[in-house]
Amino acid sequence: QVQLAESGGGVVQPGNSLRLSCSASGFTFSDYGIHWVRQAPGKGLEWVAVISYDGSIKYYADSLKGRFTISRDNIKNTVYLQMNGLRAADTAVYYCGQGTPIRYWGQGTPVTVSS
C-alpha cells in the first residue's frame, strides 16, 4: 500500500536551517509529483511547495520563495524540503503528499522554531 513518512522535524532556533525528508513506498515514486503542506498550531492548511515527478519543475508558495527548496531523489524514493532562515511563523506540522490532488498523505513531522 502507498506509504509516505516524513522525518527530520524538531526544535530549531530562529535563523537556523532544517531539512525534512519524505520517504515513499508502495507506488512507482518516479511517476508522481510530491507536495509539502504545513499546518501551524490551531490554523488551517498552508501549501508550501510541489516538485514534479522528475524534479524538473518546482513551485513554491509566494510567501516562502527564497528560503525553502524542494528536491527529490528518485533512486532513494525520497523528497526533501530544505528550510533556511527559519522564523517562529514557520512553526507547524509539515506533511508530504502524493499527486495532484493529494490522495495520500504522510503522518506529518513537527517543526518548532524557538529560542
Partner 1 sequence: DIQMTQSPSTLSASVGDRVTITCRASRSITTWLAWYQQKPGKAPNLLIYDASSLESGVPSRFSGSGSETEFTLTISSLQPDDFATYYCQHYNGYFGPGTKVDIK
Binding residues for partner 1, rule: CB under 8 A, are 35, 37, 44-47, 49-50, 59, 61-62, 95, 97, 100-103, 105-108
C-beta of 14 vs 65, nearer to partner 1: 65
CB of 101 to partner 1, least distance (A): 4
CB of 53 to partner 1, least distance (A): 15
Q: Which residues contact 66 (CB under 8 A, 6 or more apart)?
A: none
C-beta of 66 vs 115, nearer to partner 1: 66
Q: Which of 77, 89, 13, 14 is nearest to 48 (CA)?
A: 89
CB of 80 to partner 1, least distance (A): 18
C-alpha cell of 108? 506529518
DSSP-H helix ranges across 9-72: none
C-alpha cell of 44? 488551517
